[in-house]
Amino acid sequence: MINIVDHGAIRELQLNRPPVNALSPELIVALRKAIDKAPSAGARALILSGTPGRFSAGLDIPLLLGLDKTAISEFWPAFYGLAGAIAGSAIPIAAAITGYAPAGGAVLATFCDWRVMADGDYKIGLNEVQVGLPLPPVILAGLRRMVGARQAERLAVAGEMMSPQEALHVGFVDELAPLEKVVDRALEYCQRLLALPGEAMTSTRRLARADLVALFENLEPELKRVIEIWWSPTTQAPLRALVERLKKKTG
């Protein structure tokens, strides 16, 4: 589910769960382990990428709707743990957004150090509200940190999906590149950081991201609420309607 490509001291973690790199419990655990283990394997920076045209379609909703309460109570902490691992990584992480990145895919990018997106007919955004999920507070806070309070409100409340150009304009991504150059541009970003005096860069980065890391402290009340919301009829009904629409579209 994850292809590992080493570019010298820079390790690329490429999501590879066909057809759309949807985030299953297994993929989330595997990606968390890959991020945690990278520094001890000699990596000094990471790139999180997807397959051409598709970064990640977000949470695998059809699969999750089939899980029982025990499994869901394990899933959400694991997903938060992955986002927290990205936010608190000891080494920089660049998101090479190789195509569509709705919902959970956009969440992964939100907590990276830097984001380059393929310039094409793609969309990115935290569209949770559109499918019946309130945007969790920690994700809203990460969005607000990126784009500012007013833009975060506009994007989150409406669940806006943006073109690459719109995402660049509001600051959701830092750069656009042709699809075939997205990973190359992420590599260049990482190389620029690694060319700096190491201790100065690392300590300044740690200080600059301390507020982001702090978002993941004391999450028990939020996780409890997110799990309660997941099982509520007002959440389940729109999610199941979404799955039915997807079945008709692919069937």
pLDDT (tens digit per residue) in 11-20: 999 999 999 9
* pLDDT, mean of residues 162-185: 98
Q: How far apart are CA 113 and CA 87, in angstroms?
A: 8
Report pLDDT for 251: 63
Long-range pairs, 67-71, Cβ under 8 A, ≥24? 67/25, 69/231, 71/25
Every domain of the chain and the residues it spans: 2-194
Q: How far apart are CA 246 and CA 250, in angstroms?
A: 6
CATH 3.90.226.10 fits 2-194, yes or no: yes
Q: Half-sphere exposure of 79 toward its Cβ, with a 13 Å CA cutoff?
A: 26
11-66: pLDDT as tens digits: 999 999 999 999 999 999 999 999 999 999 999 999 999 999 999 999 999 999 99
Largest CA distance in the chain: 55
* pLDDT, mean of residues 238-248: 88
User: Which residues, 6 or more positions from 243, have their beta carbon under 8 angstroms from its beta carbon?
Assistant: 61, 62, 65
Task: Indicate the pTM of the whole model.
Answer: 0.95
